[in-house]
Structure 1
């Protein structure tokens, strides 16, 4: 009965996690509209999360942490570079050019990109002769097609259209919000990308960074089986990278002073979107497994669209609905195929165990009878 209660709590917990991530998208968009610097926001968020996770990891995993090696430190650095620095910064830049609905709609692509990287690195294999293997490849292509469609096609506004959104490309160009700048953004604009397309490109980069983080994390946790400590080290290197880059990319006299709404967004991002959500996801993973946990990602676009419609009045476009639907369909296809493969593997192992054990028992019984 207790296990059943934990299962229901885990299902409810994952739904809450996606709702909180949807709230993070909306609150962060408000902070970006006010004019908070993306690097400063990420630094404060990661520093707060580090202060929360570090003492918990220190006391909880004090007896289980293995010794640190140079190879592990290098792995922690790459985890901080991809999962903390690149992931969060690209997300905020992409969000500043788009809206919470698009930002959330691309997040379900993370498991699919993770699958691609895992295949490239040899962490996961694909059997193209099986139906499940073909489903994995097909689902991945569908998801990528959805992401590309969201870049190339926006379409008419279907939900939440107002006269204030006559020119879609200027939806996020608020005079009070300084746009991100730099050689990378300037170069992409020279290639013909407009602001909205730039935003989606950066959001796809955010998903790829998170996928790289998850792919690298798997072998690291085998060598260093202390997940909270690994997270703390990742946040440490992420904070260091944010601080170093911020010295060259921000105005130390003005960018680091936050308004009340910006402080609220930083506190929410550091405590809820980073520390709390990670703890809930880790616990749910133990109860439900990664396949069922990943199935809750498609709830994020719905929650984000609902909250952004309520609090920001952001419209929902045809391209977002079609592309997001393809992403969700691809995600479900890949997750279903992975689940069926694991079921088949477990079935083979169970049947093999039965085949071996039964003759052994019968043979033992025969010998005992002969002995008697």
Structure 2
């Protein structure tokens, strides 16, 4: 997503890219560094720092000949493209309708209706829909409430305050947080590659945020130094005969 969103925002002229500007270079380099860090954290393990008590599962999914991996990758690309468009759309909606809770409520209601239709068409057997009072029900409720509803409200609120660039810049941190929570709660092993990838992502995130903050400061200084548009377009006083 951090790759698709800047490209789309540049095409729609939501973000400025000045080659000789330090802030623009910082945003570009920060985005590239974050992408590199995400790849390092995902595909490179290295020596183990903390061994898990559980059985380690080898990361050999790239050797799989199952076509579902390719289909899943294509669907993820489409998903990130649509999510990037949704973030851009939220920027324009919140300018005219600054109510994050109502926006997320309408979005969630629409998503629930579409999901129900797709699920009923995919799994028509009613017996497969039975859910007991167990861990599955708790996982579904917690994912819907905290993972989607509250998470979307926080994202919309952040977009309304600071723009979509800030929200998408923090997306690579999801990988870092998931790795940390996996080590703490699931007993996953911690590798050197995870530490290196997390460090690279943090450096890239700092670069993007520094570039965006510097750009806002430059715009504020430029607006103060430029002449007032109200005075510039004021008509000249004319003499009228009494």
* TM-score after normalising by structure 2: 0.71
Aligned-partner SS, 2:126: coil
Within the alignment, does 1:131 sit opposite 2:22 as a pair?
A: yes
- Is the counterpart of residue 229 in structure 1 residue 102 in structure 2? yes
Q: Separation in 2 of the partners of 1:222 and 1:296?
A: 22
Deviations 1:213-250 (A, max 9, x none): 21222123334444333322222221222122212322
Structure with larger RCO (C-alpha < 8 A, sep 6+): 2
> Which of 165, 183, 186 is matched with 2:68 structurally?
186
1:267 correspondence with 2:141: yes
Aligned partner (choices 114, 129, 132) of residue 256 of structure 1: 129
Are 2:93 and 1:220 equivalent residues in the alignment?
yes
Partner of 1:11: none
C-alpha distance in structure 2 between counterparts of 1:350 and 1:297, whole Å? 34
Offset at residue 165 of structure 1 (A): 0.8
Partners in 2 of 1:132 and 1:253 — Cα distance?
56
Q: Where do residues 1-372 of structure 1 align in structure 2 (5 Å cutoff)?
A: 110=1, 113-150=4-41, 152-162=43-53, 164-165=55-56, 167-169=58-60, 185-186=67-68, 188=70, 207-250=80-123, 252-259=125-132, 260-280=134-154, 289-290=162-163, 300-301=174-175, 303-352=177-226
Unpaired segments ≥5 residues, structure 2: 232-242
Work out the CA distance in 1 between the residues paired with 2:77 and 2:182.
Answer: 20
| Structure 1 residues 148 and 299: alpha-carbon distance in aligned structure 2, compared to 1, 3 A threshold | closer
Alpha-carbon spacing, 1:248–1:283, altered in 2? closer, same or farther (3 Å): closer
- Aligned-pair CA distance for 1:349: 1.6
Q: CA deviation at 1:256?
A: 1.6
2:31–2:169 Cα contact (<8 Å) kept:
no
Q: CA deviation at 1:339?
A: 0.9
Would you say the 8 A contact 2:100–2:153 is kept in 1?
no
Note if contact 1:140-1:331 (Cα within 8 Å) is conserved in structure 2: yes
SS in 2 for 1:158: strand
Contact 1:112 1:334 in 2 (8 A): no
How far residue 336 of structure 1 moved from its aligned partner, in angstroms, is: 1.2
Deviation at 1:342, TM superposition (A): 0.3
Q: CA offsets, 1:93-113, max 9 Å, x none?
A: xxxxxxxxxxxxxxxxx4564
Q: CA deviation at 1:313?
A: 0.6
TM-score by length of 1: 0.49
Name the count of aligned residue pairs. Answer: 224
Q: How far 1:280 moved relative to its partner?
A: 4.6
Shift of 1:130: 0.9
